[in-house]
DNA sequence: GCGATTCCTTGACGCGCATCAAATGGCCCA
DNA sequence: TGGGCCATTTGATGCGCGTCAAGGAATCGC
């Protein structure tokens, strides 16, 4: 992706993560290196908590390796996954920029390495390179837009949410074959259930129903879409930003 | 609020709306005036549509007078209100900055006057006065945080959503008395039902239940909170930004 | 004061989903 | 090959909420 090799005083994986981070995509290599140097690295095991709802957000992070899950903890202990964060993506940056408290919880979904930065480091970068602001603003705005899609997804029933998800996967990684469009779910069904704000049981029934209706075939994590038109109609409103 | 009077070539109400707009709170009066001058004014009646989901967002607006409702239209025609926009607040600015399509619909809840601007006008302002970026970023970030609260609210059952709303009202405008904390709902119950993503019937039952449980007394739009602790527990997770 | 409209409440009913419980299937390892 | 563990499925049950329908209650008009 980037021709530049890591500065010798920065770990290669850390450099890659920072350089890939879309918040400051348009920043210079030097500015990114400065940012990376001021970071504090942490390594935690699967299941560890990276942030708890309600704590003041004075730092933000960049995920170096592993996967983290951002979720809201309902009053009754039920949890809804907002998003899954992967290497090179910012962690809790929004709360930090808003100067607010964390609005959600973050857990490590796998063993995770992440870099921690004080919020001010980000504003220092903006002062040094003002053109980065436009990138950052566009990114934040996109996040707001994406959240509206999360909300609207929750307004649909479970089969529709599944249809929307599969349709989205098909758009970005579907492989045609003579029997239909092949798609992989990309995660275990239990995890998918959580990401869609439902339970494994209901998800299973939703797949059974979509199968009965002749929309798709299901075999483990592998899906064959047999009626793309019906799938699109079910997950209606989907648009890929 | 502002000592400055409107430039003579700008309508007083338009100037007030632009000067009050929090997106460029830190901009100079001249910059705001430039912005206001490049705006196109429109006036529509109650119920008119200001933006439709799916249309490309090449302009954004500032509400000069009246109230507008931002809502998502579910597949079955049900609608969920995201927020209510009042005078001096931006309209569809997020979608414009993201360069995306409108993710939601906007209707006039009352007769509305609004000013329309091309997206580039905003970026011109940022180029002229870079310090505005920080304001804008903080505001956008807050919006993202607020959206997470919308999502988490939808994860609660209806009585909890009501409790959360009343609790929030109590924090910002509760008046103590010997019988309890007096609060006004601030809108008709039918409107509140929509704002909370439910129906008037369910809202009515929720109030009845809260009354039975001894949490509050209800009389028209006037609420008397008799058990603040229980109310806070029901609407748990609330935090005032 | 009286009707008309709008708003709110109450009851009955059905649907979708979460929950509990149990059965089935896949996979690794001994 | 057999046992244990986990993911997935299936069935039964109950609850919350939206819907339809009807009955008050408040407000505004004249």
Residues from chain A that touch B197, judged by Cβ atoms under 8 A, are: 155
Task: Determine the pLDDT at residue B23.
Answer: 93
- B25 CA vs D15 C1’ separation (Å): 48
B17 has pLDDT over 90 = yes
Q: Residue B126's CB: how many other CB atoms inside 10 A?
A: 20
Residue pointed to by tokens 């009389």: B219
- Structural contact between residues B4 and B29, judged by C-beta atoms closer than 8 angstroms: yes
Gyration radius from chain A CA atoms: 20
Closest approach of B214 to chain A, Cα-based (Å)? 20
Q: In what order do the strands lie in the sheet with B40-44?
A: B40-44, B112-118, B59-65, B90-91
A95-117 b/e with 16+ CB inside 10 Å = b?
bbbbebbbbbbbbbbeebbbbbb
- What six digits make up the tokens of A169? 């996967």
User: Quick check: A138 and B99 CB within 8 A?
Assistant: yes
Task: Determine the pLDDT at residue B241.
Answer: 25
A237 has pLDDT over 50 = no
**How many angstroms separate the CA atoms of A122 and A38, rounded?**
11
CB-CB: which of B95, B154, B237 is closest to A145? B95
Backbone angles phi, psi at A9, to 5 degrees: -95, 10
Residues from chain B that touch A150, judged by Cβ atoms under 8 A, are: 151
- Structural contact between residues B182 and B142, judged by C-beta atoms closer than 8 angstroms: no
User: Quick check: B237 and A156 CB within 8 A?
Assistant: no
pLDDT one-digit tens code per residue, B77-106: 566 777 788 899 999 898 899 888 888 888
- Structural contact between residues B4 and B102, judged by C-beta atoms closer than 8 angstroms: no
CB-CB: which of A53, A138, A149 is closest to B103? A149
- What six digits make up the tokens of A112? 């995770």
Residue A159 CB closer than 7 angstroms to strand C? yes
Residues from chain A that touch B97, judged by Cβ atoms under 8 A, are: 137-138, 140-141
Residues in CB range of B86: below 8 A, 6 or more apart: B63, B67
**pLDDT grade for A184, boundaries at 50, 70 and 90:** very high
- Structural contact between residues A85 and A91, judged by C-beta atoms closer than 8 angstroms: yes
Q: Look at A72-81, A86-95, B109-118 and tell me which has the smallest mean pLDDT.
A: A72-81
Q: Look at A49-63, A158-172, B66-80, B183-197 and tell me which has the smallest mean pLDDT.
A: B66-80
Residue with minimal CA–C1' distance to C20 is A201
pLDDT one-digit tens code per residue, A24-82: 999 999 999 999 999 999 999 888 889 988 889 889 999 999 988 888 765 555 667 77
Nearest to A97, CA basis, from A148, A62, A59: A59
**How many angstroms separate the CA atoms of B61 and B108, rounded?**
13
User: Quick check: A155 and B80 CB within 8 A?
Assistant: yes
- Structural contact between residues B9 and B37, judged by C-beta atoms closer than 8 angstroms: yes
A163 has pLDDT over 50 = yes
**How many angstroms separate the CA atoms of A207 and A219, rounded?**
10
**pLDDT grade for B117, boundaries at 50, 70 and 90:** very high
pLDDT one-digit tens code per residue, B139-165: 988 888 887 777 777 778 999 999 999
In terms of CA atoms, which chain B residue is nearest residue A104? B148
- B108 CA vs C14 C1’ separation (Å): 35
In terms of CA atoms, which chain A residue is nearest residue B82? A148
Closest approach of A167 to chain B, Cα-based (Å)? 16
- Structural contact between residues A161 and A153, judged by C-beta atoms closer than 8 angstroms: yes
- B200 CA vs D22 C1’ separation (Å): 16
Segment A10-37 shows an average pLDDT of 94
Nearest to B82, CA basis, from A42, A150, A41, A128: A150
Task: Determine the pLDDT at residue A197.
Answer: 87
User: Quick check: B141 and A137 CB within 8 A?
Assistant: no
In terms of CA atoms, which chain A residue is nearest residue B130? A130
**pLDDT grade for B30, boundaries at 50, 70 and 90:** very high
Residues in CB range of B95: below 8 A, 6 or more apart: A141, A145, B57, B60, B101, B102, B103
Residues in CB range of B108: below 8 A, 6 or more apart: B44, B45, B46, B47, B48, B49, B50, B66, B67, B68, B69
Residue B204 CB closer than 7 angstroms to strand C? yes
Residues from chain B that touch A105, judged by Cβ atoms under 8 A, are: none
Task: Determine the pLDDT at residue A70.
Answer: 86
Task: Determine the pLDDT at residue B77.
Answer: 57
Task: Determine the pLDDT at residue B7.
Answer: 78
User: Quick check: B147 and A145 CB within 8 A?
Assistant: no
A168-182 b/e with 16+ CB inside 10 Å = b?
ebbeeebeeeeebbb
**How many angstroms separate the CA atoms of A166 and A184, rounded?**
9
Q: In what order do the strands lie in the sheet with A59-65?
A: A40-44, A112-118, A59-65, A90-91
User: Quick check: B137 and A133 CB within 8 A?
Assistant: yes
Task: Determine the pLDDT at residue B78.
Answer: 61
- A191 CA vs D23 C1’ separation (Å): 48
pLDDT one-digit tens code per residue, B50-84: 998 888 988 999 999 988 888 876 555 566 777 78
Closest approach of B159 to chain A, Cα-based (Å)? 12
Task: Determine the pLDDT at residue B239.
Answer: 31
Which of chain C's bases lie under 7 Å from a protein CB?
A: 7-12, 16-21, 27
Closest approach of A235 to chain B, Cα-based (Å)? 9
Task: Determine the pLDDT at residue B158.
Answer: 94
- What six digits make up the tokens of A182? 């092949």
Residues from chain A that touch B140, judged by Cβ atoms under 8 A, are: 137, 140-141, 144
In terms of CA atoms, which chain A residue is nearest residue B139? A98
- A109 CA vs D4 C1’ separation (Å): 25
Task: Determine the pLDDT at residue B205.
Answer: 97
User: Quick check: A154 and B151 CB within 8 A?
Assistant: yes
Residue pointed to by tokens 């109400």: B13
> Parallel, antiparallel, or unpaired for β B112-118 and B40-44?
antiparallel
Which of chain D's bases lie under 7 Å from a protein CB?
A: 7-12, 16-21, 26-27
Cα B126 to Cα A23, A130, B123, distances in angstroms: 17, 9, 5
% of chain A at pLDDT higher than 70: 92
In terms of CA atoms, which chain B residue is nearest residue A83? B148
Computed over every residue of chain A, the mean pLDDT equals 87
Residues from chain A that touch B80, judged by Cβ atoms under 8 A, are: 151-152, 155
B28 has pLDDT over 90 = yes
């Amino acid at each position: 992706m980037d021709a530049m090799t890591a500065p010798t005083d920065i770990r290669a994986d850390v450099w890659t993560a920072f350089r890939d981070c879309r918040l400051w995509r348009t920043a210079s290599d030097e500015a990114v290196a400065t940012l990376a140097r001021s970071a504090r690295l942490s390594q935690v095991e699967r299941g560890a908590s990276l942030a708890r709802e309600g704590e003041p957000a004075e730092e933000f992070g960049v995920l170096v390796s592993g996967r983290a899950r951002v979720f809201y903890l309902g009053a009754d202990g039920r949890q809804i996954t907002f998003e899954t964060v992967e290497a090179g993506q910012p962690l809790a940056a929004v709360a930090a920029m808003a100067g607010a408290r964390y609005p959600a919880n973050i857990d490590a979904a796998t063993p995770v390495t992440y870099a921690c930065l004080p919020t001010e480091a980000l504003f220092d970068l903006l002062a040094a390179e003002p053109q980065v602001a436009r990138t950052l603003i566009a990114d934040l705005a996109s996040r707001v837009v994406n959240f509206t899609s999360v909300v609207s997804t929750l307004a649909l029933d479970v089969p529709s949410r599944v249809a929307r998800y599969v349709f989205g996967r098909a758009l970005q990684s579907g492989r045609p074959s003579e029997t239909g469009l092949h798609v992989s779910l990309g995660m275990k069904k239990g995890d998918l259930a959580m990401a869609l704000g439902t339970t494994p049981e209901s998800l299973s029934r939703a797949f059974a129903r979509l199968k009965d209706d002749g929309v798709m075939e299901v075999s483990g994590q592998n899906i064959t879409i047999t009626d793309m038109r019906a799938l699109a109609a079910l997950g209606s409103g989907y648009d890929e930003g």
